[in-house]
């Protein structure tokens, strides 16, 4: 049982101002696995005051001091990897292979990337008589989601720390225990009091207090577009910087070549990873209309190879994170059937033998048109939509016909052709044949957000620029 009913403020664990303990569920068993407290504006005020005090000195910390701290954090992460993986699996249902692999690996990966960047980052650049100073923005409020919890903590906390900011983290109340263990790591590593603070809570109680707080200089938020709009509106009166990574409905263009069936299969299983709960997931697959029937066969076989089940066993995917999420996904699957899409694999209801837990059948729809609800809305579950295109111009047109622009995917043998297509897609990152890079920028166009995370781009997000001019 996980019990984290205190908050981490000013270098110590403290009781909430107003006790409000709530249970946290394991989505695989539907049983309570622990408790947290939900904070209030009063708790936020305490954390902001601590972060503001700490900023007075941390903003002037040396590169060497920051590097020493970050290397100490890396060593502490290594000691707690098993604890982190177990927490992620318990709270969000990720199979242990995924939790102990990508989920925890991204935490260390982002930290090692940030250390490498900090070693050579230029905080001063002189051009003629003008010197540009890159200075920390101040106190940062961070609101992170439940779907890749450690990844999103890492790509906010580490660049903010490296650039001299102080911070308050509000993790998701649905999956909070990995963040509590991460906080223990930050404490064990010797993070100065007030530099890093953590409060549990929900959006109305803590998120709203943070986004509208006069003494928070920046909000970095990852979550739904709906919540992002509300946060930006609430932050507007304080004119703080708001960086957002929001929803996605990413196209995956399958090129018409000899690798077609293999690309369809890989795109299908890629969509199902993390139970489809990935904002960059290749959820809209585009195939030549003439090869739609071939795509159905390959996608059906691939989807049926994805085995949902106990995260502590050998399952490919676990449950989705909550009953509310399960209900939303089921409603959209029903909507796809109602609107005339062809159900190729999966469908409504739970997989056979998995009556307990929020499990979803790996589902594939084909003959989808881009005006259907399942092609427009972010499903955030293991549900793939296959759409047909006449030619590549048509594929690009349909791919860009969405309010989102977080990511896109292209799969096929002609990588030069894929690179040219990538230039025409309105999205923040394009992965060709699964390309991946920890230094690549991460962020979206349109309603997928603003600002960029990861690598050196994440550093600049937390910096102000000052010009010093000499006559």
Q: Residue 345 forms beta bridges with which residues?
A: 364
- 2-246+448-469 and 251-437 have identical folds: no
Residue 264: both structure tokens together? 């369809």
DSSP 311-368: TTTT-SB---S-HHHHHHHHHHHHHHHHTT-EEEE--SSPPTT--SS-----EEEEEE
Beta sheet of 130-136, edge-to-edge order: 124-127, 130-136, 463-469
Alpha carbons 434 and 432: distance in angstroms, whole number: 5
From 173, 279, 378, 385, active-site residue: 279
Alpha carbons 401 and 380: distance in angstroms, whole number: 19
Domain 2-246+448-469, CATH number (from 1.10.1420.10, 2.160.20.10, 3.40.605.10, 1.10.357.10): 3.40.605.10
For 62, 143, 145, 371, the CA distances from 153, given in Å and listed in that order, are 23, 9, 9, 35
For 134, 163, 412, the CA distances from 156, given in Å and listed in that order, are 18, 11, 33
The pLDDT score that the predictor gives to residue 299 is 98
State the residue for tokens 């997928």: 448
Start-to-end CA distance of the chain, whole Å, equals: 65
User: Quick check: is 338 catalytic?
Assistant: no
Largest CA distance in the chain: 77
Domain 251-437, CATH number (from 3.40.309.10, 3.40.50.2300, 3.40.50.150, 3.40.605.10): 3.40.309.10
How many residues in the chain? 471
The pLDDT score that the predictor gives to residue 418 is 98
How would you classify the pairing of strands 383-389 and 284-288? Answer: parallel
Tell me the domain boundaries of the chain: 2-246+448-469, 251-437
What does pTM read for this prediction?
0.96
Residue 163: both structure tokens together? 């650039």
From 76, 91, 173, 245, active-site residue: 245
The pLDDT score that the predictor gives to residue 65 is 98
Residue 377: both structure tokens together? 């809305």
CB-based contacts of 370, cutoff 8 Å, min separation 6: 284, 376, 387, 398, 401, 402
The pLDDT score that the predictor gives to residue 284 is 98
Alpha carbons 204 and 360: distance in angstroms, whole number: 29
Handedness of CA 223, 226, 232, 234 (dihedral sign): negative
For residues 200 and 171, is the Cβ–Cβ distance under 8 A?
A: yes
One pLDDT digit (tens) per residue for the chain, 471 residues: 999 999 999 999 999 999 999 999 999 999 999 999 999 999 999 999 999 999 999 999 999 999 999 999 999 999 999 999 999 999 999 999 999 999 999 999 999 999 999 999 999 999 999 999 999 999 999 999 999 999 999 999 999 999 999 999 999 999 999 999 999 999 999 999 999 999 999 999 999 999 999 999 999 999 999 999 999 999 999 999 999 999 999 999 999 999 999 999 999 999 999 999 999 999 999 999 999 999 999 999 999 999 999 999 999 999 999 999 999 999 999 999 999 999 999 999 999 999 999 999 999 999 999 999 999 999 999 999 999 999 999 999 999 999 999 999 999 999 999 999 999 999 999 999 999 999 999 999 999 999 999 999 999 999 999 999 999
Q: Residue 286 forms beta bridges with which residues?
A: 253, 387
Residue 81: both structure tokens together? 């990897």
Alpha carbons 317 and 432: distance in angstroms, whole number: 24
Alpha carbons 280 and 384: distance in angstroms, whole number: 13
User: Quick check: is 279 catalytic?
Assistant: yes
């Amino acid at each position: 049982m996980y019990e984290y009913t205190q908050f981490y403020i000013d270098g110590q664990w403290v009781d909430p101002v107003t006790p409000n303990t709530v249970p946290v569920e394991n989505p695989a068993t539907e049983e309570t696995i622990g408790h947290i407290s939900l904070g209030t504006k009063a708790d936020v005020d305490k954390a902001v005051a601590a972060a503001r005090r700490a900023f007075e000195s941390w903003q002037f910390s040396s590169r060497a001091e920051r590097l020493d701290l970050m290397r100490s954090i890396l060593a502490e992460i290594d000691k707690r990897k098993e604890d982190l993986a177990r927490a992620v699996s318990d709270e969000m249902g990720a199979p242990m292979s995924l939790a102990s692999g990508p989920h925890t690996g991204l935490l260390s990966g982002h930290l090692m990337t940030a250390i490498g960047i900090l070693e050579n980052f230029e905080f001063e650049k002189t051009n003629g008589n003008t010197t540009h100073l890159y200075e920390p923005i101040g106190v940062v409020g961070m609101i992170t989601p439940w779907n890749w919890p450690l990844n999103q903590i890492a790509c906010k906390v580490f660049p903010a720390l490296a650039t001299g900011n102080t911070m308050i983290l509000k993790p998701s109340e649905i999956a909070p225990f990995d963040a509590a263990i991460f906080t223990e790591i930050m404490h064990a590593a010797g993070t100065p009091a007030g530099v890093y603070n953590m409060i549990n809570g929900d959006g109305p109680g803590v998120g709203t207090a943070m986004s509208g707080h006069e003494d928070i200089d920046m909000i970095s938020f990852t979550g739904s577009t709906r919540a992002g709009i509300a946060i930006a509106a609430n932050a507007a009166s304080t004119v703080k910087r708001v960086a957002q990574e929001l929803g996605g409905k990413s196209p995956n263009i399958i090129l018409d070549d000899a690798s077609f069936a293999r690309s369809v299969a890989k795109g299908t299983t890629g969509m199902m990873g993390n139970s489809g709960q990935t904002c960059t997931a290749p959820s809209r697959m585009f195939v030549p209309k003439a090869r739609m029937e071939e795509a159905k066969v390959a996608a059906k076989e691939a989807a049926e190879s994805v085995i949902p089940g106990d995260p502590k066993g050998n399952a490919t995917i676990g449950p989705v994170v909550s009953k509310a999420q399960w209900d939303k996904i089921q409603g959209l699957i029903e909507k796809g059937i109602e609107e005339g899409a062809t159900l190729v694999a999966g469908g409504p209801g739970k997989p056979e033998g998995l009556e307990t837990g929020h499990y979803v059948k790996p589902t594939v729809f084909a003959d989808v048109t881009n005006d259907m609800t399942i092609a427009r809305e972010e499903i955030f579950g293991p549900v793939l939509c296959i759409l047909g295109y006449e030619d590549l111009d048509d594929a690009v047109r349909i791919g860009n016909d969405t309010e989102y622009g977080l990511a896109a995917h292209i799969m096929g043998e002609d990588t030069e052709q894929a690179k040219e297509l990538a230039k025409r897609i309105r999205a923040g990152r394009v992965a060709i044949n699964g390309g991946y890079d920890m230094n690549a920028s991460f962020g979206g166009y349109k309603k997928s957000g603003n600002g960029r995370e990861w690598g050196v781009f994440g550093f600049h997000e937390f910096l102000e620029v000052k010009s010093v001019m000499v006559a």
